[in-house]
A and B are shown apart, each in its own frame.
Chain A
Amino acid sequence: MRAGGLVRRRVGALIKLLAASLQLVPLALATGIFGAAASLSVSSGTVGAATVATPRCTAVGLTVLQNLSAGTVVSVTVGGLPAACGGATLQATVNNGSTFGSGSVAVPAGGGSVTVPLGAAPAVTAAETTDIVVLGP
């Protein structure tokens, strides 16, 4: 009787273990699908957010003057560049609302002023926007 009871207890435990394992199958499958989905996109919640300021070579006002030819802007002269901008690349884009003209030049070592020839010459209108970006140095 003792031996029979021991067998019954072991069989019962085995059945419980099997049942518990079967319960894990759908959970594992579901978890597996979740895992696969997570691998498709980087979870923003696990990526640290930070802001790092990049240094600028100047924060003063630059003079931006249009050079005209027959009523169009053929180049712009940018002045007031400090020596700290020397070696950088200055890009300028003039936009009159219908035409863009862009160009870039290197800023001389000592700064100063540069004239940027434009690839296209926007006509002078009531107002033009000139975007200036200094890359580097």
Chain B
Amino acid sequence: MIAVALLVGVSVRAGSAAALSLTSQRLTPYRTCTITATPAGTTAVSDANVRQANPTTNFGATTTYVVSSAAAANQRIYVRFDLAVCSPAIASSAIVRLATLRLYVTAVPAVCRTLDLFPATVAWTEAAITWNNEPFGAAINNPPTASRTGSVTVGTPVGCVNQAAGAYITGATVTTDVAAFVAGGSTNLGWMIRDDAEGSATTRSETFSAKDLGTIAQAPQLVVTYVVVP
């Protein structure tokens, strides 16, 4: 009888524990890693200009770089951000919600131009890249527009997304590329940015601040917003 009573007592206690309840608030968590090209000499960010008119000259240490469409004088930008500098590290299982490339534009053209973003598929270095040895080769309008993974419009006309100089461009979304870098589906070799229609008879150019300008408020950035999967 004693033993039976004790067993009943244990059962009662277990019943009480089962009655415990937990409540939680509605939480929407995000984490963002902002990579900034600072200090100017950082290796976390690599950027360079390549110029068709100077096909064997390296422009990896210039303070500004230009995207230009011109007759035999096209210019492109290469930029790469090392995601490994994010702390805590972005887990390969993380879900990238948004990744934005931010470049500070200091001069815009009088017409609206479309700039295309292509993830580089061959490694390059800031100190060695030139027009002739760049990953996508020396031919203009290559790779084709269809293979771009992002684009932005720059120019003063109404309807162009980035109309004014003296601000970071908006709309340079690279979410798909960064998601692939994080998940390991592709290697992060940065991006090449070129005019959508190189070889314009009238020169059309946009000028951006490079990391070597050393101005934090104008430094190239990559902003990655993601969700940590438990």
Contact = CB atoms under 8 A, between A and B. Distances in A.
Interface of A: 24, 27-28, 31-32, 34-35, 38-39, 42-43, 46-48, 54-66, 68, 71, 80, 85, 88, 97, 124-137
Contacts of B30: 62, 64, 131-133
Contacts of B42: 126
B26 A55 contact: yes
27 contacts: A28-B3, A31-B3, A35-B9, A42-B20, A46-B14, A47-B20, A54-B25, A56-B27, A57-B26, A58-B28, A59-B97, A61-B97, A62-B225, A64-B32, A80-B98, A97-B87, A124-B216, A125-B38, A126-B44, A129-B86, A129-B88, A130-B33, A132-B31, A132-B225, A134-B27, A134-B28, A137-B26
A127 B100 CA distance: 14
Given A43-B17, A61-B98, A54 B86 contact: no
Interface residues of B, number: 40
Nearest to A48: B18
A127 B43 CA distance: 12
Nearest to B11: A46
For the complex of A and B, list the 10 residue pairs with the smallest distance between their C-beta atoms, beginning with the closest: A61-B98, A61-B97, A46-B14, A134-B28, A42-B17, A28-B2, A130-B32, A64-B32, A132-B30, A126-B44
Interface string B9-48: 1100110011010001111111111111010001011000
Contacts of A56: 26-28
Interface string B83-107: 0011110000000011010000000
B35 A127 contact: yes
Q: Is the interface of A mostly helix, strand, loop or mixed?
A: mixed
B17 A27 contact: no
A98 to B, nearest CB: 11
B209 interface: no
Nearest to A72: B216
A126 B31 contact: no
A57 B28 contact: yes
Contacts of A57: 26, 28
A131 B14 CA distance: 39
A61 B32 CA distance: 10
A18 to B, nearest CB: 15
